[in-house]
Structure 1
Amino acid sequence: MTDTATAPLADIIAARLTESLAPSHLVVSNDSHLHAGHMGDDGTGESHFTVEVESPAFTGLNRVARQRLVNRALADLLATRIHALAIRARAPGEG
Structure 2
Amino acid sequence: MTGQRAARIRQALEAALAPATVAVVDDSARHAGHAGNPDGAGETHYTVHAVSPRFAGQGRVARQRLVHDALAAEFATGLHALTLKLETPEESGASAGARG
Match of 1:91 among 66, 85, 88: 88
The structure richer in helix per residue is 2
- Match in the other structure for 1:3: none
Q: Give the TM-score, by structure 1 length.
A: 0.87
* Runs (5+) with no aligned partner, structure 2: 96-100
Aligned counterparts of 2:81 and 2:36: Cα–Cα separation in 1: 8
Q: Give the TM-score, by structure 2 length.
A: 0.83
> What secondary structure does 1:93 align onto?
helix
Query: Sequence identity, in percent?
Result: 48
Q: How many residues align?
A: 89
Aligned counterparts of 1:66 and 1:28: Cα–Cα separation in 2: 16
Provide the alpha-carbon RMSD of the alignment.
1.2
* Runs (5+) with no aligned partner, structure 1: 1-6
Deviations 1:3-35 (A, max 9, x none): xxxx61000000000011010011000000101
Larger radius of gyration: 2
- Match in the other structure for 1:45: 42
Aligned counterparts of 1:81 and 1:59: Cα–Cα separation in 2: 30
4+ aligned runs moved over 2 Å, structure 1: none
1:36 is aligned to 2:19: no
